[in-house]
Amino acid sequence: MSGLSESALTVADEVLLYRRVHPDRTRLDERRGCNRLASAAFTEASHEVSIDLGDALKANGRTPESTLDGFSVDDGWGLVQISAGDARAAGAMVCRNPLDDNPCHGLVVGKLSRSKLIDLCVAARWVIRPKGACDPPHIRVQAQ
Amino acid sequence: MTAIDYHFPTNNASVVPRHLFRVSPTVLSRDEAPIVRAVVDEPEFLSASPWQATIMQGLLETTALRLNWDSYGGLPTSMASISTAFGFLSQVMDGDTPLPSIVPLSDGGVQLEWHRGEVDIEVTFPVTDAPEVYLYDTVTGNEIETTPWSDRQLIRQFIARL
């Protein structure tokens, strides 16, 4: 866990968290005929999921969209946002983790069950939408 | 006969499942971009039903992902994950079952997904954690978490509703 703890937590619930979405993180929803965000978008091997913190982006004069700099929407990349409160409601911690090359970097920390990862998917909103992507909610859509 | 030439992004030939390939894997490069080459004759692939060949090809394609493919340190899919996922599918699918979507995981694992009919099904085979199954009934709103190796009858019931 890289020595991170809740005591390092200074991120308000309303702060938005931004994460890049690789083209392999969206898959066809055959009921809706569009590509839905996969719950795998919020996983990393370490159980520490990298994000950019919205308030830090603003303080550094960056836009949320800059998180996707260097990655092409034409190639299928996208950008999603959740709030720090969404992450905490799913049972994760949210920590600031500035890096030399990215002072806005943070981590969503915790081993989440599949249903909790899907909670994050349900909460996620597109900031930069890949072509053909479904509108939220991305999953757990009950039949009418 | 159509031969399929697979290039695995590794310099470790032992990761290639030799029972699936006609030609023993050959290490082509040990340099910065390591490659192991293996060849399979398509019609004899797995001596198998078409869905098995299609699924295996889709799973193998995820091994070609580069290091850091997701920009967050993602690893290419491991052959162990592919083998486990394929074994699971062989136990729950038949020729009429719709094919799942294949989603690579950052840790070298793989996730299988169906979103059709009245159900959502996600089956996850991570490298660093235990496998998981998530079942969602879009009619009742009921969701169930289990493992690929338990509740097999329940998993088959959901798959039958795809």
Q: Is the whole-model pTM more than 0.80? A: yes
Query: pLDDT tens digits for B26-76?
Result: 665 555 555 566 665 554 454 567 787 788 878 888 888 888 999 999 998
Q: Which ipTM was obtained for this model?
A: 0.89
Q: pLDDT of A12-52, one tens digit each?
A: 999 999 999 999 999 988 888 999 999 999 999 889 999 99
Distance CA A113, CA A92 (A): 11
Q: Which residues of B touch A43 (CB under 8 A)?
A: 105-107, 126
Q: Which of B104, B126, B103 is nearest to B114 (CA)?
A: B103
Own/partner contacts of B128-131, CB < 8 Å, gap of 24 or more, are B128/A45, B129/A111, B131/B84, B131/B88
Task: Assess A39–B contact: CB distance below 8 Å, yes or no.
Answer: yes
Rounded Cα–Cα distance for residues B27 and B41 (Å): 19
Helical (H) or strand (E) element with B60:
helix B50-61
The mean per-residue pLDDT over the stretch B2-25 comes to: 58
Whether A1 has a pLDDT exceeding 50, the answer reads: no
Find residue B23's DSSP bridge partners: B39
pLDDT tens-digit profile of A92-126?
Answer: 999 999 999 999 999 999 999 989 999 999 999 99
Separation in Å, CA of B84 to nearest CA in chain A: 18
- Whether the CA torsion B160, A139, A133, B68 is positive or negative: it is negative
